[in-house]
Amino acid sequence: MPLTSGGRIPREFFEDHACVVARKLLGQRLVRILDGVRLAGVVVETEAYRGEEDLGCHCRHGRTPRTSVMYGPAGFAYVYFTYGMHWMFNIVVERDGFPAAVLIRALLPMEGLDRMAEHRREKPMARWADGPAKLCQALSIDGKLNGSDLCAPKAQLFLEWGQPIPDSRVTTTPRVGLNSVPEPWKSIPWRYLVSDWQADLPRELNITSETDYWRKR
DNA sequence: AGCACGATTAACT
DNA sequence: GTTAATCGTGCTC
């Protein structure tokens, strides 16, 4: 394990171009403290959204009550509700005053698996956090966390250094679900994912019975 | 006040 | 591949 692994990621990490942050978030660990217990997963899929000119970004309408947190400083949570039932978790990035965020789209479950299984009952582990709304269910993330500081010492939701993912493992594609968004925003390749993470990453991270990854309920 | 639609998911045919 | 679920948001009237 690299020496950096395990420590909290500082705010400066997020004060960068949204695409750079989206790329370097791969392999880092998202941690949720629930009743004093750690639920955590490795970030394996992200998307960048930046600026009012990005017609795929919620900020295309300018500053509104919903999007105001995206105009603030980096390292804060932008959590929004959509389709009448789903929460989405984003990290605000770039400089204070410029609206940008990175959507976390998938996690490899690592810690607090008993609790995650309860949140995602009847689903196989591979489906616990392989979508932006699913990972919010798995980690119990909802609107109460909107605007929370992910870099605060007492944060209940934050990021820790994980394992670097080499470029050879990273794929970029257009962002998902922007069906009625005009070009070039519809097709710009601002989605970042770890290739074959469901098959390869557990092995590469040396996840074995010494962690709770394979533990049965 | 009314309306169309959404950075999705699960359950269908 | 198609579709229901379900409601906040931001736009138009």
Predicted pLDDT of residue A6: 80
Which residue's CA lies closest to nucleotide B5 at its C1' atom?
A83
How many angstroms separate the CA of A165 from the C1' of B5?
37
Nucleotides of B under 7 A from a protein CB: 5-10
Which nucleotide comes closest to A58 if you measure CA to C1'?
B7
Predicted pLDDT of residue A5: 77
Predicted confidence band of residue A215 (pLDDT cuts 50, 70, 90): low
CB A106 within 8 A of CB A92: no
How many angstroms separate the CA of A149 from the C1' of C3?
38
How many angstroms separate the CA of A3 from the C1' of C9?
44
Residues with CB under 7 A from strand C: A 58, 61-62, 64-67, 80-81, 83-85
Which nucleotide comes closest to A78 if you measure CA to C1'?
B7
pLDDT digits (tens, 9 = 90+) for A26-65: 999 999 999 999 999 999 999 999 999 999 999 999 999 9
Predicted pLDDT of residue A217: 43
Q: Quick one: what percent of chain A has pLDDT higher than 70?
A: 94
Integer angstrom CA distances of residue A217 from A57, A81, A102, A122, A204: 40, 31, 33, 12, 24
pLDDT digits (tens, 9 = 90+) for A90-134: 999 999 999 999 999 999 999 999 999 999 987 899 999 999 999
Average pLDDT, chain A: 94
Which nucleotide comes closest to A67 if you measure CA to C1'?
C9
Distance CA A86, CA A171 (A): 26
- Tokens at A14, concatenated: 């997020």
Which nucleotide comes closest to A130 if you measure CA to C1'?
B9
Residue with tokens 């603030």: A72
pLDDT score of A216 more than 60: no
pLDDT score of A208 more than 70: no
How many angstroms separate the CA of A91 from the C1' of B2?
34
Predicted confidence band of residue A206 (pLDDT cuts 50, 70, 90): confident
Which residue's CA lies closest to nucleotide C7 at its C1' atom?
A84
Helix, strand, coil percent content, chain A, rounded in steps of 5: 25, 30, 50
Predicted confidence band of residue A209 (pLDDT cuts 50, 70, 90): low
CB A138 within 8 A of CB A128: yes
How many angstroms separate the CA of A154 from the C1' of C12?
44
Nucleotides of C under 7 A from a protein CB: 5-11
How many angstroms separate the CA of A188 from the C1' of B6?
19
